[in-house]
Structure 1
Amino acid sequence: MIDKNQQLITGEETVRGLFSYLSDIEKTYETEEIQWEKSHLLVKSYPLENIGTVIIGMDITNEMHVIQNIVWFLLIITVIFSVLFAWVGHFFAGQAMNPIQKSFQTQRKFVSDASHELRTPLSIFYSSLDVLSGEENLSSFGKEVLEDAKSEAEMMNKLLNDLLFLARSDQGNMELDLEEYDFSSLLDTWLTSFARTVPAHLSLQ
């Protein structure tokens, strides 16, 4: 208990030196938590008419340390479990991606191998067409069919080149070869090829 002149009237000062500190702070008459030196205190002030003020409180240092330890423990546990969950997620994601990667590697190898293996018979077929085109006994219709076969062989060869291009691009060995192309001649070739299969009452232009 202190009087109006902030002088100690009576009371047991369990925390030495605290009274001088409390006498300097503003009296709000509300319960508040204060920190003094290494102690945490819960303090309440009551005004007494014509006498002064009664100050009561208790030491909550141990409780504050327990709360701080719990907070630190929860933070550490959160970090540990976050790292653990991240590692588990990465592990299972890698396990799930393994079959996909193996399938992709198998498909890429198949495309590359098939392109190379088909080149040999296609080259032989194309060479045979060149030999046949040199025959003088062929009818005009036969020569026309032969030219169509050569055209289809060239398109097949282009398809193989495209497959090889895709295989190389997947391996990071892609090389672009840009050149001008006569699109009109390609359209004429397509029209000639389809003209034989179109019914008589239809025409292609």
Structure 2
Amino acid sequence: MKKNDRNRKNMPKSAVSDKVLLKRLRIKFCLVMMLIVVAFLLVVFSAQYISNKNTMATENKKALESALQRFEKNNSRGQGGNENIPGGFPGGFDNNQPPQDNWNDNDQTTQDNGKENSPNTGEGGSDSDKQDDRKGFRYNNEEMADFRNHGEMNELSKVPVLCVLRNSEGNLIVERNDIFFIENEDSETLVKAADATGKKTGVLSDYKIRFMKLELDGGNCAYAFADISSEIKLLNSQIIKSIWISLAVAAVLFVLSILLAKWATRPVERAFSDQRRFIADASHELKTPLAVIISNTDMVVKSDDLSDKNKRRMDNVKAESARMKELVQELIDLARGEASGNKVSMEEVNYSDLLEEDTMGWEAPVFDAGKSLITEIEPDVVVKGNRDKLRQLADILIDNALKYSSPASEITVSLKTKDKGKDKRSVILAVKNQGAALSEEEKTKIFERFYRSDESRESTPGYGLGLSIALQLADLHGGRLSVESCEENGKTYNIFKFKMYK
């Protein structure tokens, strides 16, 4: 795990081609757009969910408070409830049948009103009197609302409520039961559950019931329970609908964000294209004059008309012209690579044989520099790629190691394969050289064009384009180029790795 984290940390972050940079810019643009959309939808639907939840909770609490106020009012008048719970409790009867006394009182009231309002008597027969009589209808000494008065009915709570009174003797009396799926006998379970919470109000999650408790005079205690199952169902339905709406909106905006990303990055893409064209054109324009300068310099140096001092001057001109030619060639290679994209021909290449041939050509320059070249090449490693480009990539890495390795040190070139499972194998070309360890900042910037990390690199011939070209070649083969530093036997090493998949 630590090794993977280290490799990920050493992976060049800024070392990307223009094509990859554009792709990353578009991805970041889309991600930012989607994050904004998701955050907006989350805020909107969360606010709606919380608002609906609070509204329904408030309505339930109002219904419970109203029921308890009725208890408190009746208790102050010394009135009891409607029904004792049967089965061990005194005086039980059918809950669907209201108290007989109340019905008798109401029947008597109805008869009296009928006599007073009878057309035969000729007294008190106006419509207003009839409405007043209807509005005066009472149940258990509580005035009932007129359903034809819309304002009054809107203010009336329609939440199903179960009202239970526990008297001083500990008996439970059901005063009201609007919850159809709860039997009166179940009220004892709900009362015990409410008492177990130790609170005056709360929610019984196991029963999907909200309760409120009120201590009355004389040792009585009133309980009001409201059904919240429909509330939970509505809220869950709202969550599911919000998710589907969010997915639909996100899908539409994702497509739009892709189109917007292409439109927004078009000026950047055009700038990169103009830059590549300028580099390619300028390099080609410089190549021909440089060839003429070098050719004429060779002719002058070989002539006998120059003094020794002028010959040395011409040698300097020739050397600097050669360096300029090298820079121009590197710029041309860089421009060609960016212009060609992935259009180079790919074929099956024996990478092992290619590296064996290439390293043989580097033995003499390495020996002349007072260093040694060690190869650890796994045989018969075959990859799909461009032979010339793969050789060029290896040459850049070996040349970089030769330039910046310590005096009288070793340069190791290795080629190994690693099984990744499911018939997938990675091929790793590693060039290792002894030298000062690169810092984390240098590891991320060393693949940038014209980057020169320290004084030692400034004094070394080169223009800082080699590793940029190598990165481009690695990207061309669908691989990854990275660098890491390590310490072995008190010596520090830098290892450049090119990884691709077979």
TM, length-normalised to structure 2: 0.29
Distance 1:66 1:180 in 2: 73
How big is the shift at 1:76? 5.0
Q: Report the secondary structure of 1:102's partner residue.
A: helix
Gaps of 5+ in 1: 182-186, 188-205
Gaps of 5+ in 2: 1-164, 343-388, 405-458, 460-502
Query: Residue 43 of structure 1 contacts residue 55 of structure 1 at CA under 8 Å; is this kept in 2?
Result: yes
* Matched positions, count: 180
Coordinate RMSD, CA, aligned: 4.1
Which residue of structure 2 lines up, in the alignment, with residue 203 of structure 1? none
Is residue 134 of structure 1 aligned with residue 302 of structure 2?
yes
Q: Could you tell me which amino acid in structure 2 is paired with residue 54 of structure 1? A: A
Higher relative contact order (Cα pairs below 8 Å, separated by 6+ residues)? 2
| Counterparts in 2 of 1:150 and 1:44: CA distance versus 1, 3 Å | closer
What do residues 148-201 of structure 1 show as CA deviations (whole Å, max 9, x unaligned)?
Answer: 5434423422332442465478679654124469xxxxx9xxxxxxxxxxxxxx
Q: Which has the higher strand share?
A: 2
| Counterparts in 2 of 1:33 and 1:134: CA distance versus 1, 3 Å | closer
| Counterparts in 2 of 1:150 and 1:30: CA distance versus 1, 3 Å | same
Query: Residue 204 of structure 2 contacts residue 211 of structure 2 at CA under 8 Å; is this kept in 1?
Result: yes
Matching of residues 1-205 of structure 1 within 5 Å: 1-3=165-167, 6-15=170-179, 16-17=182-183, 18-27=186-195, 28=198, 30-35=200-205, 37=207, 40-50=208-218, 52-74=220-242, 76-77=244-245, 88-116=256-284, 118-138=286-306, 143=311, 146-147=314-315, 149-164=317-332, 166-167=334-335, 174=393, 175-176=395-396, 177-178=399-400, 179=402
Which residue of structure 1 lines up, in the alignment, with residue 477 of structure 2? none
| Counterparts in 2 of 1:155 and 1:26: CA distance versus 1, 3 Å | closer
Compare 5-14 and 81-90 and name the one that shifted more.
81-90
| Counterparts in 2 of 1:55 and 1:146: CA distance versus 1, 3 Å | closer
| Counterparts in 2 of 1:142 and 1:36: CA distance versus 1, 3 Å | closer
Query: Residue 193 of structure 2 contacts residue 204 of structure 2 at CA under 8 Å; is this kept in 1?
Result: no
Distance 2:325 2:299 in 1: 18
Distance 1:119 1:29 in 2: 90
| Counterparts in 2 of 1:53 and 1:168: CA distance versus 1, 3 Å | same
What do residues 52-81 of structure 1 show as CA deviations (whole Å, max 9, x unaligned)?
Answer: 432223334434433444444455555655
Distance 2:206 2:324 in 1: 89
Compare 172-181 and 21-30 and name the one that shifted more.
172-181
How big is the shift at 1:130? 2.0
TM, length-normalised to structure 1: 0.59
How big is the shift at 1:140? 6.6
What do residues 106-158 of structure 1 show as CA deviations (whole Å, max 9, x unaligned)?
Answer: 42344245435533442233222222333334567765664454344234223
Same amino acid, percent of matched pairs: 22
Q: Report the secondary structure of 1:9's partner residue.
A: strand
Which residue of structure 1 lines up, in the alignment, with residue 73 of structure 2? none
Q: Report the secondary structure of 1:127's partner residue.
A: helix
Query: Residue 29 of structure 1 contacts residue 47 of structure 1 at CA under 8 Å; is this kept in 2?
Result: no
Q: Report the secondary structure of 1:44's partner residue.
A: strand
